């Protein structure tokens, strides 16, 4: 009768692993093996058999956790069973911050499950460095890496968590992050104005504007504004500004723009 002495997942080099990994079943008198049993699930194909080892692919459809592995011979004799721990695939369900500048540095917490054996996180395919500390089964926090923009103003990418159980797939695209190019003001018209005046701000990547601020050198005051597209908006000069040289700044998820000169009259 075959006797199993050890189980080794060739990916983790331990007796833990995931579906799809190669499992080495080491022992004695293994040469007549025709079946490998994972609890009540049996596989008969894809086996490589020698007198001291049986190799197979860990099947899908097993519940995460401990499963008893044994082998059965061509005379229907079953060996002893040893425990193997099947690691669940991670799942991501959301993020705490959905956007930030292309330069990176935004603090993001990813929510999900089965994170404890985590080995890394990627944002748009770029690895997070240093590797985050996986101290919880349901969340991990890190700073976004820098991103090279493919589109002019916004790139939305997947956040993927990798563990010993594999790599996550976002649920309904909830685990995504949008990189924004820093907005830029190219001109304003008119270049002078007083409280209540309308000012047209021209620029690039004026997308999803969070705020428009007027600064007189002493006071910084948020203004009401109306977006007219990615290259233009109209702002109303707010109350409370001192007369004289000042600036206008636009802020989006990509950060704050250059400070464009504007004179308060």
**Are the beta carbons of 36 and 47 closer than 8 angstroms?**
yes
* Mean pLDDT, residues 181-192 taken together: 98
Q: Which residues contact 95 (CB under 8 A, 6 or more apart)?
A: 108, 109, 110, 111, 159, 174, 175, 176, 177
Please calculate the CA angle 100-105-110 and round it to the nearest 5 degrees: 75
- Retrieve residue 64's tokens: 């995460």
The single residue listed with the structure tokens 């790599």 is 167
- Retrieve residue 156's tokens: 């939305």
pLDDT in tens, 134-177: 989 999 999 999 999 999 999 999 999 999 888 998 776 789 99
What is the reported pLDDT for 104? 98
Phi then psi for residue 171, to 5 deg, are -85, 115
Mean pLDDT of the chain: 96
pLDDT in tens, 188-230: 999 999 999 999 999 999 999 999 999 999 999 999 999 999 9
User: The pTM is what?
Assistant: 0.82
Number of helices (H) and strands (E) in the chain: give both, helices first: 0, 28
pLDDT greater than 90 at residue 231: yes
What is the reported pLDDT for 57? 97
pLDDT greater than 90 at residue 67: yes
pLDDT greater than 90 at residue 115: yes
DSSP-assigned letters across all residues of 156-217:
EEEEEEEETTEE--BSTT-SEEEEEPPPEEEEEESSEE-TT-EEEEEEE---S--EEEEE-S
């Amino acid at each position: 009768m075959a006797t199993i002495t050890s189980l080794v997942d060739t990916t983790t080099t331990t007796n833990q692993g995931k579906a799809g990994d190669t499992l080495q079943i080491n022992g004695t008198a293994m040469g007549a093996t025709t079946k490998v049993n994972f609890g009540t699930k049996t596989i008969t194909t894809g086996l490589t058999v020698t007198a001291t080892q049986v190799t197979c692919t860990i099947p899908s459809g097993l519940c995460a956790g401990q499963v008893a592995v044994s082998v059965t011979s061509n005379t229907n004799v079953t060996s002893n069973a040893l425990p193997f721990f099947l690691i669940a695939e991670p799942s991501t369900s959301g993020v705490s911050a959905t956007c930030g500048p292309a330069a990176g540095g935004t603090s993001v917490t990813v929510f999900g499950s089965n994170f404890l054996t985590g080995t890394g996180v990627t944002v748009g395919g770029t690895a997070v460095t240093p590797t985050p500390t996986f101290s919880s089964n349901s969340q991990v926090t890190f700073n976004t890496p820098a991103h090279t923009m493919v589109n002019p103003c916004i790139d939305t990418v997947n956040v993927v968590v990798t563990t010993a159980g594999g790599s996550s797939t976002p649920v309904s695209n909830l685990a995504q992050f949008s990189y924004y190019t820093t907005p830029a003001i190219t001109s304003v018209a008119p270049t002078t104005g007083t409280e209540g005046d309308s000012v047209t701000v021209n620029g690039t990547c004026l997308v999803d504007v969070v705020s428009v601020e007027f600064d007189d050198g002493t006071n910084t005051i948020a203004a009401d504004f109306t977006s007219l597209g990615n290259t233009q908006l109209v702002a109303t000069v707010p109350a409370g500004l001192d007369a004289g040289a000042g600036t206008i700044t636009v802020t989006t998820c990509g950060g704050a723009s250059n400070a464009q000169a504007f004179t308060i009259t």
